[in-house]
Amino acid sequence: MGNRIGRWQQTRIYVGKCWRLFINERQWKNLVSTLIIMVLISFVTSEKTFEDYVQTKNSCFAIICACIWVGIFNSIQSICRERGIIKREHRTGLHISSYIGAHVIFEALLCAVEALIVLVVVLIKNSEHLPESGLVFPMAVDMYITLYLTIFASDMLAILVSCVVKDSTSAMTVMPFVLIVQLIMAGVVFELEGVADKLSNITVSKWGLNGLMSIALTTDEMSLSPLFKDNPWQKAEAGNIIRIWIIMVVISLICIALGTLALSFVDRDKR
Protein backbone atom coordinates (compact mmCIF):
# COMPACT_ATOMS: atom_id res chain seq x y z
CA MET A 1 0.00 0.00 0.00
CA GLY A 2 2.04 2.94 -1.28
CA ASN A 3 2.33 6.32 0.37
CA ARG A 4 1.00 8.01 -2.76
CA ILE A 5 -2.41 6.41 -2.36
CA GLY A 6 -4.70 8.75 -0.45
CA ARG A 7 -7.00 7.88 2.42
CA TRP A 8 -10.15 7.81 0.28
CA GLN A 9 -8.54 5.57 -2.32
CA GLN A 10 -7.35 3.22 0.39
CA THR A 11 -10.85 3.13 1.83
CA ARG A 12 -12.30 2.21 -1.57
CA ILE A 13 -9.72 -0.56 -2.01
CA TYR A 14 -10.52 -2.09 1.37
CA VAL A 15 -14.28 -1.84 0.87
CA GLY A 16 -13.72 -3.91 -2.26
CA LYS A 17 -11.65 -6.36 -0.26
CA CYS A 18 -14.43 -6.68 2.33
CA TRP A 19 -16.88 -7.45 -0.47
CA ARG A 20 -14.60 -10.12 -1.96
CA LEU A 21 -14.20 -11.75 1.44
CA PHE A 22 -17.97 -11.63 1.91
CA ILE A 23 -18.45 -13.58 -1.32
CA ASN A 24 -15.39 -15.83 -1.43
CA GLU A 25 -15.43 -16.82 2.25
CA ARG A 26 -19.21 -17.18 2.19
CA GLN A 27 -19.76 -14.58 4.86
CA TRP A 28 -23.18 -14.07 3.27
CA LYS A 29 -24.18 -17.00 5.46
CA ASN A 30 -24.55 -14.38 8.21
CA LEU A 31 -27.73 -13.27 6.46
CA VAL A 32 -29.06 -16.82 6.48
CA SER A 33 -28.21 -17.24 10.16
CA THR A 34 -29.99 -13.96 10.93
CA LEU A 35 -33.14 -15.28 9.28
CA ILE A 36 -32.89 -18.62 11.12
CA ILE A 37 -32.42 -16.90 14.49
CA MET A 38 -35.41 -14.64 13.94
CA VAL A 39 -37.63 -17.50 12.77
CA LEU A 40 -36.74 -19.42 15.94
CA ILE A 41 -37.51 -16.37 18.07
CA SER A 42 -40.83 -15.94 16.30
CA PHE A 43 -41.79 -19.48 17.38
CA VAL A 44 -41.15 -18.84 21.07
CA THR A 45 -42.36 -15.26 21.50
CA SER A 46 -45.92 -14.69 22.66
CA GLU A 47 -48.90 -14.08 20.39
CA LYS A 48 -49.74 -11.20 22.76
CA THR A 49 -46.67 -9.19 21.87
CA PHE A 50 -47.69 -5.50 21.54
CA GLU A 51 -50.83 -6.28 23.58
CA ASP A 52 -49.62 -7.54 26.97
CA TYR A 53 -46.89 -5.50 28.69
CA VAL A 54 -44.88 -8.38 30.17
CA GLN A 55 -45.04 -10.48 27.01
CA THR A 56 -44.07 -7.48 24.91
CA LYS A 57 -41.09 -6.68 27.12
CA ASN A 58 -39.92 -10.31 26.97
CA SER A 59 -40.35 -10.44 23.19
CA CYS A 60 -38.54 -7.12 22.67
CA PHE A 61 -35.73 -8.38 24.88
CA ALA A 62 -35.40 -11.53 22.77
CA ILE A 63 -35.37 -9.48 19.56
CA ILE A 64 -32.72 -7.10 20.90
CA CYS A 65 -30.59 -10.04 22.08
CA ALA A 66 -30.76 -11.46 18.57
CA CYS A 67 -29.75 -8.11 17.06
CA ILE A 68 -26.78 -7.82 19.42
CA TRP A 69 -25.67 -11.36 18.64
CA VAL A 70 -25.93 -10.72 14.90
CA GLY A 71 -23.99 -7.46 15.14
CA ILE A 72 -21.19 -8.84 17.29
CA PHE A 73 -20.81 -11.99 15.22
CA ASN A 74 -20.48 -9.88 12.04
CA SER A 75 -17.07 -8.50 12.87
CA ILE A 76 -15.67 -9.95 16.10
CA GLN A 77 -12.84 -11.56 14.10
CA SER A 78 -12.68 -9.25 11.09
CA ILE A 79 -9.73 -7.12 12.25
CA CYS A 80 -7.69 -9.39 14.50
CA ARG A 81 -7.41 -12.18 11.93
CA GLU A 82 -5.63 -9.75 9.57
CA ARG A 83 -3.39 -8.21 12.22
CA GLY A 84 -0.18 -9.41 10.58
CA ILE A 85 -1.23 -8.01 7.20
CA ILE A 86 -2.28 -4.71 8.77
CA LYS A 87 1.08 -4.41 10.52
CA ARG A 88 3.03 -4.88 7.30
CA GLU A 89 0.84 -2.56 5.24
CA HIS A 90 0.78 0.10 7.94
CA ARG A 91 4.55 0.31 7.68
CA THR A 92 4.26 0.90 3.92
CA GLY A 93 1.66 3.67 4.06
CA LEU A 94 -1.68 2.21 5.15
CA HIS A 95 -3.82 4.72 7.02
CA ILE A 96 -5.53 2.95 9.92
CA SER A 97 -8.47 5.35 9.63
CA SER A 98 -8.97 4.25 6.01
CA TYR A 99 -8.84 0.59 6.96
CA ILE A 100 -11.35 0.99 9.80
CA GLY A 101 -13.47 3.30 7.66
CA ALA A 102 -13.75 0.64 4.96
CA HIS A 103 -14.96 -1.91 7.51
CA VAL A 104 -17.44 0.59 8.95
CA ILE A 105 -18.88 1.32 5.50
CA PHE A 106 -19.19 -2.33 4.59
CA GLU A 107 -20.64 -3.33 7.96
CA ALA A 108 -23.13 -0.45 7.77
CA LEU A 109 -24.48 -1.90 4.52
CA LEU A 110 -24.51 -5.45 5.89
CA CYS A 111 -26.34 -4.33 9.04
CA ALA A 112 -28.95 -2.58 6.87
CA VAL A 113 -29.83 -5.89 5.20
CA GLU A 114 -29.82 -7.80 8.49
CA ALA A 115 -32.08 -5.22 10.14
CA LEU A 116 -34.50 -5.58 7.24
CA ILE A 117 -34.60 -9.36 7.76
CA VAL A 118 -35.30 -8.87 11.47
CA LEU A 119 -38.01 -6.30 10.76
CA VAL A 120 -39.82 -8.44 8.19
CA VAL A 121 -39.97 -11.43 10.55
CA VAL A 122 -41.22 -9.24 13.43
CA LEU A 123 -43.91 -7.65 11.24
CA ILE A 124 -45.09 -11.01 9.90
CA LYS A 125 -45.17 -12.59 13.35
CA ASN A 126 -47.12 -9.72 14.93
CA SER A 127 -49.14 -8.55 11.92
CA GLU A 128 -52.50 -8.65 13.76
CA HIS A 129 -51.66 -6.33 16.64
CA LEU A 130 -48.84 -4.00 15.67
CA PRO A 131 -48.92 -0.33 16.74
CA GLU A 132 -50.90 1.67 14.20
CA SER A 133 -48.65 4.72 14.20
CA GLY A 134 -45.02 5.56 14.74
CA LEU A 135 -43.38 8.25 16.83
CA VAL A 136 -41.26 10.03 14.23
CA PHE A 137 -41.94 8.14 11.01
CA PRO A 138 -44.41 5.35 10.20
CA MET A 139 -44.18 2.56 12.76
CA ALA A 140 -42.23 0.18 10.51
CA VAL A 141 -39.63 2.86 9.77
CA ASP A 142 -39.21 3.74 13.45
CA MET A 143 -38.77 0.06 14.25
CA TYR A 144 -36.32 -0.45 11.39
CA ILE A 145 -34.13 2.45 12.53
CA THR A 146 -34.11 1.10 16.08
CA LEU A 147 -33.21 -2.42 14.96
CA TYR A 148 -30.60 -1.12 12.54
CA LEU A 149 -28.86 1.05 15.13
CA THR A 150 -28.89 -1.83 17.62
CA ILE A 151 -27.19 -4.17 15.15
CA PHE A 152 -24.79 -1.48 13.91
CA ALA A 153 -23.74 -0.35 17.41
CA SER A 154 -23.14 -3.99 18.39
CA ASP A 155 -21.12 -4.45 15.20
CA MET A 156 -18.96 -1.42 16.04
CA LEU A 157 -18.46 -2.77 19.56
CA ALA A 158 -17.22 -6.00 18.02
CA ILE A 159 -14.85 -4.05 15.75
CA LEU A 160 -13.45 -2.34 18.84
CA VAL A 161 -12.84 -5.71 20.49
CA SER A 162 -11.31 -7.06 17.28
CA CYS A 163 -8.92 -4.07 17.16
CA VAL A 164 -7.80 -4.61 20.75
CA VAL A 165 -7.24 -8.38 20.86
CA LYS A 166 -4.29 -10.02 19.10
CA ASP A 167 -5.91 -13.02 17.42
CA SER A 168 -9.17 -14.76 16.58
CA THR A 169 -8.94 -17.13 19.53
CA SER A 170 -8.78 -14.22 21.96
CA ALA A 171 -11.70 -12.55 20.18
CA MET A 172 -13.91 -15.62 20.52
CA THR A 173 -12.90 -15.91 24.18
CA VAL A 174 -13.92 -12.33 24.88
CA MET A 175 -17.17 -12.48 22.89
CA PRO A 176 -19.26 -14.42 25.47
CA PHE A 177 -18.33 -11.90 28.17
CA VAL A 178 -19.37 -9.01 25.92
CA LEU A 179 -22.70 -10.72 25.26
CA ILE A 180 -23.30 -11.50 28.94
CA VAL A 181 -22.69 -7.87 29.93
CA GLN A 182 -25.17 -6.70 27.29
CA LEU A 183 -27.83 -9.17 28.44
CA ILE A 184 -27.43 -8.40 32.13
CA MET A 185 -27.39 -4.64 31.65
CA ALA A 186 -30.60 -4.59 29.62
CA GLY A 187 -32.51 -4.42 32.91
CA VAL A 188 -34.91 -7.27 32.12
CA VAL A 189 -33.30 -10.24 33.85
CA PHE A 190 -32.16 -8.19 36.85
CA GLU A 191 -33.35 -4.96 38.45
CA LEU A 192 -30.47 -2.53 38.06
CA GLU A 193 -29.60 -0.08 40.79
CA GLY A 194 -26.74 2.21 41.72
CA VAL A 195 -23.49 1.63 39.84
CA ALA A 196 -25.00 -1.12 37.70
CA ASP A 197 -27.72 1.23 36.52
CA LYS A 198 -25.15 3.87 35.59
CA LEU A 199 -22.99 1.32 33.74
CA SER A 200 -26.02 0.21 31.75
CA ASN A 201 -26.02 3.61 30.06
CA ILE A 202 -23.06 2.58 27.91
CA THR A 203 -24.62 -0.69 26.74
CA VAL A 204 -26.41 -1.18 23.45
CA SER A 205 -29.00 -3.51 24.97
CA LYS A 206 -30.52 -0.86 27.25
CA TRP A 207 -31.13 1.60 24.44
CA GLY A 208 -32.27 -0.94 21.88
CA LEU A 209 -34.82 -2.36 24.33
CA ASN A 210 -36.07 1.07 25.41
CA GLY A 211 -36.41 2.08 21.76
CA LEU A 212 -38.60 -0.91 20.90
CA MET A 213 -40.65 -0.47 24.06
CA SER A 214 -41.26 3.19 23.24
CA ILE A 215 -42.73 2.13 19.91
CA ALA A 216 -44.81 -0.59 21.59
CA LEU A 217 -46.23 1.81 24.17
CA THR A 218 -48.07 3.76 21.49
CA THR A 219 -50.90 1.20 21.85
CA ASP A 220 -53.53 1.81 24.53
CA GLU A 221 -53.27 -1.75 25.87
CA MET A 222 -49.56 -1.26 26.59
CA SER A 223 -49.56 2.30 27.92
CA LEU A 224 -52.47 1.63 30.29
CA SER A 225 -51.05 -1.62 31.68
CA PRO A 226 -50.88 -1.55 35.52
CA LEU A 227 -47.47 -3.25 35.23
CA PHE A 228 -45.99 -0.38 33.25
CA LYS A 229 -43.52 1.59 35.31
CA ASP A 230 -43.00 5.18 34.23
CA ASN A 231 -39.56 4.67 32.72
CA PRO A 232 -38.52 8.04 31.25
CA TRP A 233 -36.71 6.23 28.42
CA GLN A 234 -39.81 4.29 27.41
CA LYS A 235 -42.11 7.23 26.79
CA ALA A 236 -44.00 7.01 23.51
CA GLU A 237 -42.74 10.39 22.38
CA ALA A 238 -40.83 11.46 19.27
CA GLY A 239 -38.21 13.34 21.29
CA ASN A 240 -37.53 10.29 23.44
CA ILE A 241 -36.86 7.83 20.65
CA ILE A 242 -34.76 10.40 18.77
CA ARG A 243 -32.58 10.75 21.89
CA ILE A 244 -32.25 6.97 22.03
CA TRP A 245 -31.17 6.87 18.38
CA ILE A 246 -28.61 9.61 19.00
CA ILE A 247 -27.20 7.74 22.00
CA MET A 248 -26.72 4.57 19.94
CA VAL A 249 -25.02 6.59 17.19
CA VAL A 250 -22.69 8.13 19.79
CA ILE A 251 -21.87 4.69 21.20
CA SER A 252 -21.03 3.52 17.67
CA LEU A 253 -18.79 6.54 17.01
CA ILE A 254 -16.96 6.06 20.31
CA CYS A 255 -16.31 2.40 19.48
CA ILE A 256 -15.01 3.39 16.02
CA ALA A 257 -12.72 6.06 17.47
CA LEU A 258 -11.35 3.78 20.21
CA GLY A 259 -10.86 0.93 17.74
CA THR A 260 -8.95 3.18 15.35
CA LEU A 261 -6.78 4.44 18.21
CA ALA A 262 -6.06 0.92 19.49
CA LEU A 263 -5.14 -0.38 16.04
CA SER A 264 -2.84 2.58 15.39
CA PHE A 265 -0.40 0.97 17.84
CA VAL A 266 -0.23 -2.24 15.79
CA ASP A 267 3.46 -1.63 15.03
CA ARG A 268 4.21 -2.16 18.71
CA ASP A 269 2.76 -5.66 18.55
CA LYS A 270 5.67 -8.04 19.26
CA ARG A 271 3.79 -11.12 18.06
CB contact at 8 A, 99 and 66: no
What pLDDT, in 10s, does the model give residues 115-167? 999 999 999 999 888 888 889 999 999 999 999 999 999 999 999 999 999 88
Which pLDDT score, from 0 to 100, does residue 54 have?
Answer: 87
- Would you list the DSSP string of 142-192? HHHHHHHHHHHHHHHHHHHHHHHSSSHHHHHHHHHHHHHHHHHTTSSSS--
The phi and psi torsions of 229 (rounded to 5 degrees) equal -95, 140
Question: What is the enclosing helix (H) or strand (E) of 204?
Answer: helix 204-216
Going from the C-alpha of 15 to that of each of 117, 142, 204, 247, 257, the distances in angstroms are 23, 28, 26, 27, 18
Q: In this structure, what DSSP letter does residue 234 have?
A: G
Which pLDDT score, from 0 to 100, does residue 138 have?
Answer: 95
State pTM to two decimals.
0.93
CB contact at 8 A, 38 and 121: yes
Mean pLDDT along residues 187-208: 84
